[in-house]
Structures are given as C-alpha cells and as structure tokens.
Structure 1
C-alpha cells in the first residue's frame, strides 16, 4: 500500500523524485521499497551524492577491486561505478517510465563539474554519458551556467533528455527555456521524434533562503526579520509563472503540437536548512500540476509522516510572491547578486565533492592493487 500523504501529493500533479542513489540502496531493495510505498517515480544524483555513496564504501568494494584488476584509472573507474548505478536504477524504474510514457521513471547523472564553463566539453560528455548508461529513461544533468545554455541546446538537439540544474534566477530560467525550445527546433529539423525528448529545469529553493535570510538578519530590523524564510518559495512560485507563460507562446505551442513535451519545473534543494521552518515547507509550499519535487530521504520521510496537501499552493500566489521579493529588494538585498553568488557556490561545492570522490577512488584503487 502506498502512503496517503505521498499519494495525495502525486495526485496533485507533483512527481516525487528521490535526491539520492547508491549501490546499497539498489542492492538492499531500499529504492524499490520507496517506489512501492512512497510514490517515488524518479531519482536525481550529483557529484556530492556519489562522493558520499562511494566514499562510504558500502557496496563498492568488489567493483573497485575489479576496476583495479583491469587497470582502470581513477576517471574511468568513476564513470564505470556511477553509470552502473544509474543504469540499474533506470532498470528498476522502467515500469514507471513505461506507465507514464516517459514522463517519469527518470534517473539523472551529471556531467563533471569542471566542465560547467566549457560548452563543447559539456555537450561531448553528455553524449558519452547518454551512450554509456544506454537507457531511454536516463537524463543528463547540465548546469545552467551561461556556457551551459548552448550545451543544453546541442544536447536536446541530439535527442538526449536533459535535467538542467543549478537554476537560481528567473532571468536564467527564461534563458534555459529558450535553450530547450531551440534544441527541440533543431531536433525537429534533424527528423528526431520530439515526443522522445524530455527535460526538467531544476530550480533551487532552500539555498535562496539561506543566503537571503543571512543578509536579512544582518540588517536586523523588524521588517527584515519578518521576511526570513519567504524568498525561496516566492522565487520558485514566480518561476512557475514563467513556466506557464513560456509554454503558452506560439513558438512552444507549435512544438507541443508536433509531440514535444513541456520542460517541467523541478524543485531542488528542498531539504529545510532553517530549524525555524517546518521540515516539509518546501514541499507543501510548492504544490502545482506538472512539477517535480526531488527530495532528500529525510524530507520524503517527513512528508510521508505528516505532510499536508491543501491543493495548488503556487498559481494563486504570484502577486504575494512579487511583493515578498520587492520588499526584500527595498531593504537592500540585491537579487541578482544573491543568485549569481549561489551559482558560483553551487559549482564550487560540486567541484569540492568531485575532488573528494577522485581522492577516495584513487586511494581505493591503490589499496586494491
């Protein structure tokens, strides 16, 4: 039986994806159980998730020993380990993928963070990862840097499904949607069936609150403190308005009429970092049709335990959300500065995780040899 709270969320149009993957989750049956009981219909990964999984060692010993015996270097070993996990998760979710006609049952794997400022390198590695995983329900994650925009277009144009990650600002989100539509137009010109291409746009939530709230607390006035904990959800709700507007244009409607899929908003970074907020705040506050919420397991379990689905909590809140961001701006918190900083920090965190992963695997290969 499925959980009533997660079932209600799914029925409200929110696809629940788990923001975690490991060999242990696959082999223990944990992931299968979450699919069966908590309505999980997708999985996202990133360099930090793999650094934690492989660094923990659980389930990877034999695979690392085998990689060492075959003389694989650290880069090749990492590709082998991570793509194997993603391929197996894709197989586990194949039934969901079929039942939803490709909408869900998706598993994302990210290009190396060091390529985030390299358009050609990102597009090339996206093709390599897609071929290596070799599952139609995989998604390649590409960061929404300026350099990543053309790589998104090129990857979509090749018929590869993409999860665009690290989106913080509304302006960058508009650019991401344009990159997706441009890719669909090129795919159509190449004779690719547009219905086979899917994409999500990962809009980050809690990190916006963390940085904005830090600045509001520095200001310290009652007006500033009253606005803490509101920026992340307001920003995401306005992103949904951008989604509605952008996929109701003549350009988008034409492509959808040819079988293309709208690029759904995905709420990322939905684990609550501020103990003053309810632990399900970034789920209950962002319920709307045609969205994805990718949750760390702690957030998923919290929602399963005491989550609430009051209905659509997004589309009626655009005016209020604009007022929140305008009030924050009036206090001197620069939106563009915040979102640019968050993109840089996001890339730095993934770089650090990737370096940690390289060191862990290199040490394990040496030990095995």
Structure 2
C-alpha cells in the first residue's frame, strides 16, 4: 500500500530519523519506524543525546558501571553514545546490506569543541570509528575551515563521514572538494572504496529563521514577500551544484573505481515558523539521490498528510536564482547570513556538548542511587 513516506522514498529521497535514544532502541521503536515508516538511516547530535541521557533510567546501569570503573566524564560520554549508535547500526544492518551500503547508516558526532582543530578532529574520528566498530557508521564532522582537511584525511583512511553544519553554497562546494580529494587519495593508496560513503548535511530551516529576521527589520513590502523563501532556494541551488560536480569526468573516474557519490542531506527540516506548513522542508526538496533527516514529529506529520507530486528541486532552479537576486536587492547579505549561522551552529553544539557532559557528571554522581 502506497503511503506518503513510501512515495517519498520512491522519488529518490532517503528517509532518515533525526533522533536516537536507548529507550527508542530497547522498546523496538526504531525497528518499528524502519518497518512501518520507511526509515533507512539515523542521525544524532549532542542535543539529542543530552535529552536522552537526562531523562528516564535507561542509562543507569551503564552509568553505575562507568562510575565503579572510575571512568572520567568525557570517556563516559563516548562509551554511552557509542553504545547507542552501535545498537542502532545493528538495527539498520539489514537496510545497509540490502542497499549495498548506501543507506542503513547511523551518525555519531565528534566533540564539537574540536570544530576549529583539524588534528584533534581526525584523532577523535579515528577513535569513534574504532569504538563503534560497525561498517554502517558515519562520523559527523562540521564543515568549518578546520573541518575540511580533517574530512579529506579520514575519508582517505576509509572512514565514512557525515559532514554537518553546511549553510552556504561556497562552503558546500569546498565540502565536495574535500570529499573528492579524500576518495582520490584512498584510491591512490590502493583502498577498496566501494563501502566508503558520505553525506553533506545542508541545513535548511535555520536559514529561513535568520534571513526572515533580517527581512522583518528591513520591513518593506518587497522584503516581506521573500519570507520563507531563502532556505528552499539555497538548498535547491546546492543540489544544482551537486548535479554538476557529480556529473563531471573527475567523478566518473572515481565512480569507475566503485566510489559512491556524496549525497546531499537536508537537515534542520522541522518548521520553526508556525505559520508555515509543517512538512514544507520535505515537500519542497524532492529530488533523486537525496536524504531528508527528520525529527519524529516531522516524520509523522509527513506520514499523515505529506504529499509527493513529483520533483520539486530541479524544475525550480531559475526561481531559486531569482530569490537570491531579490534578497540581494532588498539588502540581505547571504554571505553574512552563512557566516553567522555557522558560528551560531558551532556554539549551539558546543553548549549542548557541555550540557551533555554536565548531565553525565550528575548522573555518575547519583548512579548508585538510581540503579
């Protein structure tokens, strides 16, 4: 029986869940979403883990053992998050096998405090890859200037990567270049790249939040007419660049070696503006070879009343360019928007990571009582 989510999948959009928790894993909820909601991947971030560990008692036994062993807070966080991601990888292993390694992936992020430190990001990525020890793992690395060479290095070593916190087109092209260079280095080193995979997480709704606040300050009718248009236009133009680069002879040479293309992943797809349709960042970003990672509320909303009426990206390239031209005309500096969002994104994840560390420290302190 056809459903909105199955139609979305048939249109070439991989449906991923932007959430993870031990309760979701142990109750079978994740397996149920795979079976009934066409979910073929999972993403996580520090905020998601902080909320999961801070609620309920699913982690109390592991926290007790970590405390008895004298494990410090940082290593405790690695152990806890790696355990959840490893279990999620096992739940999705059948999807991974059936898709030839394209889907069935689960993402685990490096410590966001390392976003501006290339060497430590590489070391952390290697450690997490070893710790989880599953072929369907993605290591999440932010698309900061320091993150780009780290992406190339870990890709060259055979570590699959989810590049996160991408907001602008120029940085997106740099991310693709980092990926291509890493694959080329892996091929040159004689590695089998057929299981090497990557996605580029292009953030959506946050762009509208920032741009729309600037449009409100401008306040003209022309500015108001551009509300809720920037993010979708930005993502559509990103896909245009994806098509161009992964249709090039350079990529064809790597594909001939068995390499998989780095798919665009639409992240931050929940609607922040309550006046907008709750599925807008799904419905308006349909194109083959993409991923849409959704919080469960967005996933269930699309399952309930989402619609797929064909591709919504490629037929709208000209409209997307027109939106960008109009934004410049009314005085919105997209480059400044992107710079602001990247700084805010890194800071938000750092703050969430610190909250996660604090939560685990508190839980370690009371894990005997909670056990």
1:230-241 equivalence runs, <5 A: 230-241=229-240
Equivalents in 1 of 2:249, 2:5: separation in Å?
A: 35
Instruction: Give the C-alpha shift of residue 183 in structure 1.
Output: 0.1
Instruction: Give the C-alpha shift of residue 71 in structure 1.
Output: 1.2
Aligned residues: 368
TM-score normalized by structure 2? Answer: 0.98
Q: Does 1:112 align with 2:111?
A: yes
Instruction: Give the C-alpha shift of residue 364 in structure 1.
Output: 1.1
Q: Cα deviations across residues 230-273 of structure 1 (Å, max 9, x unaligned)?
A: 10000000000010001111211111111111100000000000
Determine helix, strand or coil for the equivalent of 1:274: coil
Instruction: Give the C-alpha shift of residue 318 in structure 1.
Output: 0.6
Q: Is the 8 A contact 1:206 1:232 kept in 2?
A: yes
Equivalents in 2 of 1:57, 1:126: separation in Å?
A: 29
Q: Cα deviations across residues 298-333 of structure 1 (Å, max 9, x unaligned)?
A: 000000000000111001111100100110111111
Determine helix, strand or coil for the equivalent of 2:277: coil
Equivalents in 2 of 1:80, 1:147: separation in Å?
A: 26
Q: Cα deviations across residues 280-303 of structure 1 (Å, max 9, x unaligned)?
A: 000000000000000000000000
Equivalents in 2 of 1:232, 1:105: separation in Å?
A: 27
Q: Is the 8 A contact 1:3 1:37 kept in 2?
A: no
Equivalents in 1 of 2:311, 2:52: separation in Å?
A: 35
Instruction: Give the C-alpha shift of residue 3 in structure 1.
Output: 6.4
Instruction: Give the C-alpha shift of residue 58 in structure 1.
Output: 3.9
Counterpart in the other structure of 1:27 = 26
Distance 1:303 1:58, change over 3 A: farther
Instruction: Give the C-alpha shift of residue 57 in structure 1.
Output: 3.5
Counterpart in the other structure of 2:61 = 62
Counterpart in the other structure of 2:360 = 361
1:1-369 equivalence runs, <5 A: 4-368=3-367
Equivalents in 2 of 1:93, 1:54: separation in Å?
A: 22
Distance 1:3 1:75, change over 3 A: farther
Q: Is the 8 A contact 1:24 1:58 kept in 2?
A: no
Equivalents in 1 of 2:317, 2:206: separation in Å?
A: 20
Please identify, of 49-58 and 345-354, the stretch whose mean Cα deviation from structure 2 is larger. 49-58
Equivalents in 2 of 1:132, 1:146: separation in Å?
A: 26
Q: Structure 1: any 5+ residue segments left out of the alignment?
A: none
Q: Please give the root-mean-square deviation of Cα atoms over the aligned residues, in Å.
A: 0.9
Please identify, of 334-343 and 359-368, the stretch whose mean Cα deviation from structure 2 is larger. 359-368
Instruction: Give the C-alpha shift of residue 368 in structure 1.
Output: 2.7
Q: Cα deviations across residues 20-70 of structure 1 (Å, max 9, x unaligned)?
A: 000000001111111010000000001111111111144111111111111
TM-score normalized by structure 1? Answer: 0.99
Equivalents in 2 of 1:356, 1:50: separation in Å?
A: 10
Q: Is the 8 A contact 1:116 1:143 kept in 2?
A: yes
Determine helix, strand or coil for the equivalent of 2:146: helix
Q: Is the 8 A contact 1:90 1:106 kept in 2?
A: yes
Equivalents in 2 of 1:27, 1:58: separation in Å?
A: 12
Determine helix, strand or coil for the equivalent of 2:162: strand
Determine helix, strand or coil for the equivalent of 1:182: helix
